[in-house]
């Protein structure tokens, strides 16, 4: 695969990388040094890591943010949306950018996809794994997710508003400007990908993947997370042999902005271990 349509901006390099003949992913590639690769959650994009990019580049790291197919500025094809497809896409991007020995970090659905990537490819391209409020190993009860799928195909704005209300530790935990910023990112997602990824979140089971992870793993999780309850962090910790949990006592699901300073400092601490 080849790079195309590379752009240089005031904040770094933005490029589109082909993962299939007619599918290109938007990738942000900033800084120089040891590499950190970040995977966003549903239905966000690589834009969600704005405050991690700036912090890590200033600390001497190269940071790569990949927007999954169907989201943000990436192409939005019809077709399958599942963890296998996403993992394959990530591998092509890392191969194209010659990435080795990176920390791979993923938020929410992106955390689940990162687990699958590490298990499927036996740790290829990475030497550490960081999971942020990951929707794994099994996200939720099928019946509950079916209601979200129904709403996605009848009233997507209402679905996203409902999620916004429970994204933080409380309805007022995230400031109005930040909530508006996140909402804008959410609406860049394809309606089709939004629905199909809910189906994947409902159906994917990563319990067998946990035991296949052989790289050191940090599990960041909000103790007040309603979307991905803290019990998921405990299950991941029990299943991943070389792992530890960092509790975010004042965070819901949005730990990357609710406790921004702690999130960044704990990530840096894991990088320097």
Q: Which of 116, 125, 221, 253 is catalytic?
A: 253
Q: Which of 75, 89, 209, 225 is catalytic?
A: 225
The question of whether 253 is a catalytic residue gets the answer: yes
Mark whether 116 is an active-site residue: no
* Active-site option among 14, 45, 74, 108: 108
Phi, psi of 161 (to 5 degrees): -65, -40
Strand partners, 189: none
Burial of 80 (0-12, 13-18, 19+ CB in 10 A): exposed
Tell me if residue 152 is catalytic. Answer: no
**In Å, how far from its chain's centre is CA 265?**
18
Show which residues are catalytic. 108, 225, 253
């Amino acid at each position: 695969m080849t790079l195309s349509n590379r752009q240089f901006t005031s904040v770094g390099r933005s490029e589109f990388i082909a993962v299939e003949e007619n599918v290109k992913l938007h990738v942000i590639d900033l800084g120089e040094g040891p590499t950190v690769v970040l995977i966003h959650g549903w239905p966000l994009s690589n834009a969600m890591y704005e405050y991690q990019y700036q912090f890590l580049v200033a600390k001497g790291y190269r940071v790569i943010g990949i927007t999954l197919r169907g989201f943000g500025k990436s192409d939005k094809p019809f077709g399958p949306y599942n963890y296998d497809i996403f993992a394959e896409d990530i591998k092509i991007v890392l191969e194209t950018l010659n990435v080795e020995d990176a920390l791979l970090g993923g938020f929410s659905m992106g955390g689940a996809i990162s687990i699958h990537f590490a298990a499927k490819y036996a740790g290829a391209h990475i030497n550490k794994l960081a999971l942020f409020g990951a929707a794994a190993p099994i996200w939720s009860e099928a019946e509950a997710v079916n209601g979200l799928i129904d709403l996605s195909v009848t009233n997507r704005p209402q679905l996203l508003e409902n999620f916004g209300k429970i994204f933080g530790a409380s309805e007022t935990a995230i400031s109005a400007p930040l909530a508006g910023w996140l909402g804008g990112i959410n609406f860049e997602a394809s309606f089709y990908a939004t629905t199909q990824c809910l189906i994947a979140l409902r159906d994917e089971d990563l319990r067998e993947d946990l035991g296949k992870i052989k790289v050191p793993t940090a599990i960041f999780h909000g103790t007040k997370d309603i979307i991905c309850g803290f019990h998921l962090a405990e299950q991941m910790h029990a299943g991943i042999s070389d792992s530890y949990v960092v509790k975010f006592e004042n965070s819901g699901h949005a730990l990357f902005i609710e406790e921004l300073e702690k999130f960044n400092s704990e990530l840096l601490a894991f990088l320097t271990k």
